[in-house]
Amino acid sequence: MKTRWIKTTAEAAEALKVEMPWARGTRRAAMIARREARMAALKLLSA
Protein backbone atom coordinates (compact mmCIF):
# COMPACT_ATOMS: atom_id res chain seq x y z
CA MET A 1 0.00 0.00 0.00
CA LYS A 2 2.66 2.46 1.08
CA THR A 3 4.92 1.61 -1.84
CA ARG A 4 2.03 2.23 -4.22
CA TRP A 5 1.46 5.63 -2.58
CA ILE A 6 5.15 6.49 -2.97
CA LYS A 7 5.05 5.40 -6.61
CA THR A 8 1.97 7.52 -7.35
CA THR A 9 3.51 10.55 -5.64
CA ALA A 10 6.66 10.08 -7.70
CA GLU A 11 4.53 9.99 -10.84
CA ALA A 12 2.60 13.06 -9.64
CA ALA A 13 5.89 14.87 -9.06
CA GLU A 14 6.96 14.04 -12.61
CA ALA A 15 3.62 15.33 -13.92
CA LEU A 16 3.99 18.52 -11.87
CA LYS A 17 7.50 19.02 -13.23
CA VAL A 18 6.11 18.82 -16.76
CA GLU A 19 3.09 21.01 -16.04
CA MET A 20 4.83 23.62 -13.92
CA PRO A 21 8.38 24.30 -15.08
CA TRP A 22 8.69 27.46 -13.00
CA ALA A 23 10.46 27.66 -9.63
CA ARG A 24 7.57 26.82 -7.31
CA GLY A 25 6.67 23.67 -9.22
CA THR A 26 10.24 22.37 -9.35
CA ARG A 27 10.76 23.16 -5.68
CA ARG A 28 7.60 21.23 -4.81
CA ALA A 29 8.62 18.28 -7.01
CA ALA A 30 12.06 18.25 -5.37
CA MET A 31 10.43 18.30 -1.93
CA ILE A 32 8.22 15.35 -2.88
CA ALA A 33 11.23 13.45 -4.26
CA ARG A 34 13.21 14.17 -1.07
CA ARG A 35 10.33 12.93 1.07
CA GLU A 36 10.04 9.83 -1.13
CA ALA A 37 13.77 9.09 -0.68
CA ARG A 38 13.50 9.57 3.10
CA MET A 39 10.50 7.21 3.26
CA ALA A 40 12.42 4.61 1.22
CA ALA A 41 15.42 4.92 3.56
CA LEU A 42 13.19 4.50 6.62
CA LYS A 43 11.55 1.47 5.02
CA LEU A 44 14.97 -0.10 4.36
CA LEU A 45 16.12 0.60 7.92
CA SER A 46 12.96 -0.81 9.49
CA ALA A 47 12.91 -3.91 7.27
Cα 27 from chain centroid (whole Å):
11
Domain range holding 33?
A: 2-46
Cβ distance 45 to 36 under 8 Å? no
**Would you state the pLDDT for residue 3?**
66
pTM for this structure? Answer: 0.41
Q: What is the pLDDT of residues 1-47, one digit of tens each?
A: 566 666 777 777 776 666 655 556 677 878 888 998 898 888 887 76
- The CA-to-CA distance between both ends of the chain, in Å, stands at 15
